[in-house]
Amino acid sequence: MTDGMASLSLHEVVPDDALLLAQAVAGNERAFSQLYHRYARYMAAIAYRIMGSDAEVDDVVQEAFLDAHGSLGSLREVGVLRAWLGRITVRRVHKRLARAKRWRWLLREHHETSIVISDPALRTRVTDLYRVLDTLAPKVRIPWVLHRIEGETLPDVATMCDISLATAKRRIAEASAAVQEVLDDKP
């Protein structure tokens, strides 16, 4: 008798994709979870093979499934579910690769245009300055940096920050006082 019970658990009915898809579209999270477990490995393999690294594979698969979750109702033919999930994964990988390429370009550009400070005393002073700036609220820091570091005129600062000229002046003065207090104490 126990052998019969064991064989029942071994031969559980596995729902087909059509049933799971219909249930998931109806809002059944368990059905969607089953689809996830059924296809996540396939999607991860696609992402890994294209990206050549598993560093972001889990994120890609999760994002792709979130995309799929929002579009399940648009899938008209269950037979293309696997390929459809594959396409969503490829789109997600494409976005990741494009973003990584943009980041590499930005880092390269930043490195080429960043100011190199070779004088240790100046380097310390710049570090101290940014330590002070990090304590300021962005609404105070940004106008000061635009005016005092970038050399923007007060009217331009006001325009760029979408504030009045008086507010720009007040915020720059507030930041200047904080910067002055810290930097004047340093040799």
Distance CA 19, CA 25 (A): 10
**CATH among 1.10.3470, 1.25.40, 1.10.600, 1.10.10 for 120-184:** 1.10.10
CATH architecture of the domain covering 12-113: Orthogonal Bundle (1.10)
Distances (CA, A) of 23 to 6, 41, 81: 28, 21, 14
Instruction: Report domain extents, the chain.
Output: 12-113, 120-184
Which tens digit of pLDDT belongs to each residue from 40-66?
A: 999 999 888 887 777 889 999 999 999
Mean pLDDT of 79-98: 87
The model's confidence at residue 12, banded by pLDDT at 50, 70 and 90, is low
pLDDT at 7 over 50: no
